[in-house]
Amino acid sequence: MFGCKNGAGSKIMLISSPFGFLQMGAMGGDDLIDWEKMQGVGNGTEEKILVLVRLRPLNEKEIAQNDVADWECINSTTILYRNSLQERSGLPTAYSFDRVFRGDCKTREVYDEEIKDIALSVVGGINSTIFAYGQTSSGKTYTMNGITEYTVADIYEYMKMHDERVFALKFSAMEIYNEVVRDLLSSDNNQLRLLDDPEKGMIIEKLTEETLRDWNHLKELLSICEGWDIFLLDMRSPIPPLAQRQIGETSLNEKSSRSHQILRLTIESSAREFIGKSNSTTLAASVNFVDLAGSERASQAQSVGQRLKEGCHINRSLLTLGTVIRKLSKGRHGHVNYRDSKLTRILQPALGGNARTAIICTLNPSRSHVEQSRNTLLFASCAKEVSTNAKVNVVMSDKALVKHLQKEVARLESELKAPGSTCDHGPLLRKKDMHIEKLEKEMRELKKQRDLAHSRIDDLLRAIESEKSSVKANSIQSVNGVVKRNGSLDLLRSQSSQVSYSSDDASDPSQITEEPLLATAEDFDEVSTDIRCIEVDDSAKDGTCTSSRHSTSESEESTPLSSEPQLSPVSSAPLSGTDNIYSHVALEQNIQGSLFNPHSDETSPSASTSTTASGGLLLTRSRSCRANMITSPLDMGSDEQNESTPPTMLEKDFTGRPEGAFQRKQWKLPPVIYGTNSARLTGNDSQSTDYSSFIDETKNEDGDEDIPTLGSFVAGLREMAKLQFENQTADQVQLKDATDGNNTRDVALDPMNDWAIKFEMLQKSIIELWQSCNVSLIHRTYFILLIKEDMTDSIYVEVEHRRLSFLKETFSRGNFAIQDGRTLTLASSKKALRREREMLSKRMSKVFTEGERNRIYEEWGIDINSKRRRLRLVQLLWRDTEDLNHIRKSGEVVAKLIGFSVHGQGMKEMLGLSFMPPQRMMSRRSLRWITS
């Protein structure tokens, strides 16, 4: 679609229409155009370029030179090369085209039989192009002159026959000489520019467009262009003649065209009766007559100087034309290099665009030019494969256009609404609807995932915020000289506080106080990002304090550190205060680790302390923490691997890492809940550092049920506790050194009493948490049977508690946890637990004899005759979280159902579950997990 101005100056729109010649038919009724032949043309369907070959007779010169004609048209479509020598060369001898014309054929014949239809399409609003291609002196100009004349004559004839329409003819002429475009109707010799117009496409700037008065006017202009009547013009008028086409003499052609000439006739027509009315439409199209310069061999044309230069330009542009045609002949795939020459740029619409095109390939029949003739035929062969896509160009006034579009919309709407519509789009629409539905579903799913991730981030941010405010509050309390009970080492450690003890302080126990945090907002931010990494500051070695220290007088509030019962390396108040935050964030880091950084090797949530050279204890934020966090995933795994891994820049800087305190280990979790459809794993190596090894559901001997193995339970538990153990050991050693060094402080801990109270609390809480988090009954059973009264198990109890607390909190927020890289929700855990109960119920008859079963049913108050007694039993297991006896009995039933029994402490040692928390090394007093 492009805009232009009509004669009246009102704005018009030129659009391509699919009306085709159906509309033209109504205009017709004459015998000038074969409308029947043109049915379907211009309706947007592709049409191949019409390719004709025209032989010329040998000219006098050639005859005089005893040249012979080797080419012969054997029928109307085939031309044959008759030469015995050539036949043996293996090159083709016969070429077929739409039409071939013998040497004695008249141009009129060529026009009438083939060209006329295409050329006269222009009166029906279809662009057309006729061009002649061939070697120099083969008859291009001879042919095109005739074709142009006949076409124009017919156009005028057509106009005469159709006085119901008003026609407007415009003429322009240009040549491309040595790659310069010149206006042949202009007296100045200026070079014309080719411009790309967004609406009209390529336009030739300032090209003269003469509105034709009549046929004679056109003849006059044509003769000017061709320079035919140059002498006549000179004689008629003293005015210098207009520009003429470049013609020069070569040895092959006296009047050789040294340029490509394009004559353009534009015709607009409107129905007379509608002129000036709002619904008037105009057909507008152009016919181009293109007389190409001839390809030539410099040797044959004996070109030198100016002629040679012209010949080079001619050949180069013809080469580009050939390349474009060859490319188009293979289909319109990829880039077509129209812009490589002015010729192809101007002819672009004719070469595969909105135009009907005919190419007349002229041939010199003489033997001496056989090679050139073959090249021409090769070009012709490619050209016949090229398609164009001509459309009727209808110019409409704005009003007519709106009206037409409204009509079109109404037509399409009624077509869609009609039940018996010929074009049934139903199945297609349904398919599309289904596709849309599918995409919408996917979108919803993705949104859900995104929201979940957002809420996780929000939760973490909230946790960090609350942690910050806790730190702040604690700092304020300390500054005010009020150190609360929860301002213990644990708290300080968990909040990355700086606590320093100088040797001077050590001399006076009353001076050993918690260092208040004189933290800036910046520090708090760091606290959030450097999650609880505390290391020894080298500067402390010389006994200096790295943080400001406020000595406070001994008071009830400012209890000395050494006397704090919270000095236990594990938190003393598991469910409250900042310690709880510590637990949650630490666990969260581990549980959610895979969500944010599955390869993160930042594992230790706890602080590390170290004695200074002078016995002072200094806790600072770790500089290596970030380095750890940004360590490459490849930098994980065994300690040996870590040693061989080059340190990061940050690590290189850091030299003060205490040995053992920050060994990189993953704090892995055993599968608390077996509801994540984890993949079955082949390995069952409890030492494995692969997180997935903790989920190890294996088939039992019956091969029909999934029972989490003891191995997987133990491995996870042990790995997790080991890390905790190591960290705590480091803490304890440092703390002990600190207090020993002081020698004045009595670390009067009574861990046994402490643990006794704590154990009871934790035990109760864990049982409740198991229930509310839908933890596997088998896990619970393993836990209570293996981790029981021995105090050395306290580490397991505490870790279990922290983990469950975090899980419960996660579920209560409607969030998910990650276990084995899979999401775990409250619903999925519930489902898994139900499946486990079903599985256990099925094992009743396999494991117990009838007598045993009946005894159990009776014991559990179940009617032995009830149909669903087995299911009823497993549903009752682990239900009563208040009754420890019920818990013990439940554990016994489950243990029997899965074929598990524990034989004392020996088994634990065998399983590698024996860890002794550092502060209790000296004591082995036991507490009971379950009262029996």
Residues making up the annotated binding site for ATP are: 134-141
Q: Taking each helix axis from N to C terminus, what angle separates 777-786 and 884-897, rounded to the nearest 10 degrees?
A: 110
Q: Compute the distance between CA of residue 264 and CA of residue 283 in angstroms, rounded to an integer.
A: 16
Q: Compute the distance between CA of residue 362 and CA of residue 259 in angstroms, rounded to an integer.
A: 17
**Is 797 buried (19+), middle (13-18) or exposed (0-12) by CB count in 10 A?**
buried
Our finding on whether 869 is near ligand ATP (CB under 6 A) is: no
Q: Compute the distance between CA of residue 586 and CA of residue 605 in angstroms, rounded to an integer.
A: 5
In the complex, least distance from residue 427 CB atom to ligand ATP, rounded to whole angstroms? 58
**Nearer of residues 178 and 815 to ligand ATP, judged by Cβ:** 178
Q: Which stretch binds ligand ATP (CB under 6 A): 56-64, 413-421, 640-648, 901-909?
A: 56-64
**Nearer of residues 104 and 659 to ligand ATP, judged by Cβ:** 104
**Nearer of residues 73 and 561 to ligand ATP, judged by Cβ:** 73
H/E segment holding residue 189: none
3-state class (DSSP) for residue 515: coil
Binding ligand ATP (rule: CB under 6 A), the pick from 134, 349, 516, 670 is 134
Q: Residues 662-701 vs ligand ATP: string with x where CB under 6 A?
A: ----------------------------------------
**Nearer of residues 128 and 135 to ligand ATP, judged by Cβ:** 135
If you write DSSP's letter for every residue of 341-406 in order, what string do you get? SHHHHHTGGGTTSSSEEEEEEEE--BGGGHHHHHHHHHHHHHHTT-EE--BEEEEEEHHHHHHHHH
Our finding on whether 23 is near ligand ATP (CB under 6 A) is: no
> 556: which 2 tokens?
């009830």
Applying the rule CB under 6 A, the residues between 304 and 363 that interact with ligand ATP are 362
Phi-psi region of 166 (alpha: psi -120 to 50; beta: other; left: phi over 0): beta
Our finding on whether 137 is near ligand ATP (CB under 6 A) is: yes
Our finding on whether 372 is near ligand ATP (CB under 6 A) is: no
Binding ligand ATP (rule: CB under 6 A), the pick from 16, 96, 128, 136 is 136
Q: Compute the distance between CA of residue 601 and CA of residue 598 in angstroms, rounded to an integer.
A: 9
List Cα–Cα distances, 769 to 59, 745, 764, 800, 807, in angstroms: 110, 39, 9, 10, 9
Tell me how many residues contact ligand ATP (CB under 6 A). 18
> 67: which 2 tokens?
């040249």
3-state class (DSSP) for residue 49: coil
CA 13 from chain centre, in angstroms, equals 40
List Cα–Cα distances, 665 to 288, 319, 590, 621, 712, in angstroms: 82, 72, 11, 19, 18
**Nearer of residues 82 and 102 to ligand ATP, judged by Cβ:** 102
**Nearer of residues 60 and 522 to ligand ATP, judged by Cβ:** 60
Q: Compute the distance between CA of residue 114 and CA of residue 128 in angstroms, rounded to an integer.
A: 13
Our finding on whether 293 is near ligand ATP (CB under 6 A) is: yes
In the complex, least distance from residue 431 CB atom to ligand ATP, rounded to whole angstroms? 57
3-state class (DSSP) for residue 408: helix
Residues flagged as binding site: 134-141
In the complex, least distance from residue 318 CB atom to ligand ATP, rounded to whole angstroms? 10
Phi, psi of 178 (to 5 degrees): 50, 45
Our finding on whether 477 is near ligand ATP (CB under 6 A) is: no
Applying the rule CB under 6 A, the residues between 571 and 630 that interact with ligand ATP are none
Binding ligand ATP (rule: CB under 6 A), the pick from 142, 215, 274, 654 is 142
Q: Which stretch binds ligand ATP (CB under 6 A): 133-141, 214-222, 726-734, 752-760?
A: 133-141
Q: Residues 234-253 vs ligand ATP: string with x where CB under 6 A?
A: -------------------x
**Nearer of residues 359 and 534 to ligand ATP, judged by Cβ:** 359
> 340: which 2 tokens?
């490589």
Q: Which stretch binds ligand ATP (CB under 6 A): 41-49, 139-147, 203-211, 794-802?
A: 139-147
**Nearer of residues 369 and 908 to ligand ATP, judged by Cβ:** 369
Q: Which stretch binds ligand ATP (CB under 6 A): 54-62, 483-491, 745-753, 922-930?
A: 54-62
H/E segment holding residue 681: none
**Nearer of residues 174 and 506 to ligand ATP, judged by Cβ:** 174
Our finding on whether 380 is near ligand ATP (CB under 6 A) is: no
Our finding on whether 481 is near ligand ATP (CB under 6 A) is: no
**Nearer of residues 222 and 916 to ligand ATP, judged by Cβ:** 222
Binding site for ligand ATP (CB under 6 A): 56-57, 59, 134, 136-142, 253, 255-257, 293-294, 362
